[in-house]
């Protein structure tokens, strides 16, 4: 058995269903994940997982290795070993980090009572909890550049969300400045170079702010989400940086005792039920 197949099987066996939000079920002989559970978490077929563990599938793509790393809750060192044992180069220091380590994953799993999402340093959304999807809409509907917050803000606006004048100005300015800071940290990230070029060509507002050459990081804002099923909710948006990873954990909270807090509580019930109900056939 190859080293890649060996560690993949070992790491699958050590992850419990509870760690990834799955029910244990009955008739389980091992404490770890079943192959079909890992396949579902990584977004691949069960047959492909079987072939990987038996050494019959070679050269998994970097995207596949990243998906497996997240599904298996690997540390940075374990992720790098998985890449190398598959014959792939681990993500380098000049590339935007996209690996969601076990610590950040646990934060997402445990803070289900507040809307929360994880973004890269360039504002690509990687992970979110159900309440985030209930208040903002399901991010899985976005593909390509549309998964980037800066791109959507400067090219599509922010329909369904309202800022006061000062927060709107600060938010747009900070996003452009944050992206410029990322360019300095990740000079080898081709997708970042492409994003900035597209933004400068598509948005005069972004081009104007880019020309200011401001360097900053977006940390907080206040906004009102007007398009929720329970009415408008005003939230404070705080951005936390995960130590050692440069991932951004974005958290929404409402003022204690406010009508906004009551609506957010209601959304936990009505909004999540709406997300979990079957989608109508199109």
CATH number of the domain bearing residue 266: 3.30.450.180
Tell which of 85, 111, 127 closes a domain. Answer: 85
pLDDT at 276: 52
Cα–Cα distance measured from residue 109 to residue 90, given in angstroms and rounded to the nearest whole number: 26
* Position 277 confidence tier, pLDDT thresholds 50, 70, 90: very low
| 153 and 55 in a common domain | no
For the cut 80, the answer to whether the pLDDT of residue 243 exceeds it is no
pLDDT at 274: 56
Cα→Cα distances 280→120, 137, 274, Å: 32, 16, 12
Which domain CATH number covers 46? 1.10.260.40
Claim to verify: residue 28 and residue 157 sit in the same structural domain: no
Pair 216, 261 in one domain: yes
Going by pLDDT thresholds of 50, 70 and 90, the confidence category of residue 56 is: confident
Give the CA diameter of the chain: 62
- Going by the DSSP 8-state scheme, the letter that residue 27 receives in this structure is S
More confident: 219 or 252: 252
Percent of the chain with pLDDT over 90: 44
Range 125-132 contact pairs with CB under 8 angstroms and sequence separation of 24 or more: 125/149, 126/98, 126/100, 126/247, 127/70, 127/100, 130/272, 130/275, 131/267, 131/268, 131/271, 131/272, 132/252
Distance CA 101, CA 74 (A): 6
Average pLDDT over residues 183-205: 92
Give 282's pLDDT tier (boundaries 50, 70, 90).
Answer: very low
**CA 35 to each of CA 7, 12, 80, 105: distance values in angstroms, whole numbers, following the listed order:** 14, 8, 22, 20
**40 and 25 Cβ atoms separated by less than 8 Å:** no
DSSP state of 39: H
- Contact predicate 82/112, CB 8 Å: no
Residues 122 and 32 in one domain: no
Domain count, the chain: 2
- pLDDT tier at 273, thresholds 50, 70, 90: low
216 with 155: CB under 8 angstroms? no
Q: Tell whether 171 is covered by a domain.
A: yes
| Mean pLDDT for all residues in the chain | 87
pLDDT band of residue 188 (cuts 50, 70, 90) is: confident
**What confidence score (pLDDT) does residue 279 get?**
40
Class of residue 137 by CB neighbours under 10 A (exposed 0-12, middle 13-18, buried 19+): middle
Which pLDDT belongs to residue 26? 66
Q: Are 81 and 163 members of one domain?
A: no
Residues 272 and 138 in one domain: yes
Q: Does residue 96 lie within any of the structural domains?
A: no
The whole model's pTM is what? 0.74
**Domain end point (choices 55, 85, 115):** 85
Domain containing 16 equals 3-85
């Amino acid at each position: 058995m190859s080293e890649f197949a060996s560690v993949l099987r070992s790491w699958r066996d050590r992850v419990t269903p509870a760690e990834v939000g799955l029910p244990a079920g009955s008739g389980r002989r091992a404490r770890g994940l079943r192959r079909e559970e890992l396949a579902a978490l990584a977004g691949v077929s069960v047959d492909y997982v079987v072939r990987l563990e038996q050494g019959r599938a070679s050269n998994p793509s970097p995207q596949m290795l990243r998906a497996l790393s997240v599904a298996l809750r690997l540390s940075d060192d374990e992720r790098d070993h998985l890449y190398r044992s598959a014959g792939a180069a681990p993500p380098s220091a000049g590339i935007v980090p996209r690996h969601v380590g076990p610590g950040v994953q646990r934060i997402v799993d445990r803070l289900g009572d507040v809307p929360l999402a994880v973004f890269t340093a360039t504002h690509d959304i990687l992970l979110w909890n159900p309440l985030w999807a209930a208040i903002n809409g399901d991010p899985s509907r976005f593909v390509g550049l549309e998964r980037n917050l800066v791109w959507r803000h400067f090219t599509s606006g922010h329909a369904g969300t309202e800022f006061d004048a000062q927060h709107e100005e600060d938010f747009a300015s900070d996003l452009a400045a944050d992206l410029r800071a990322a360019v300095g940290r990740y000079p080898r990230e081709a997708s970042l170079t492409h994003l900035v070029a597209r933004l400068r060509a598509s948005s005069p507002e972004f081009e104007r702010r880019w020309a200011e050459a401001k360097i900053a990081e977006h940390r907080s804002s206040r906004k009102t989400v007007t398009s929720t099923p329970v009415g408008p909710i005003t939230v404070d948006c705080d951005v936390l940086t995960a130590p050692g990873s440069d991932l951004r954990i974005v958290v929404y909270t409402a003022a204690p005792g406010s009508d906004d807090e009551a609506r957010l509580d209601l959304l936990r019930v009505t909004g999540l039920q709406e997300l979990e109900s079957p989608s109508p056939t199109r």
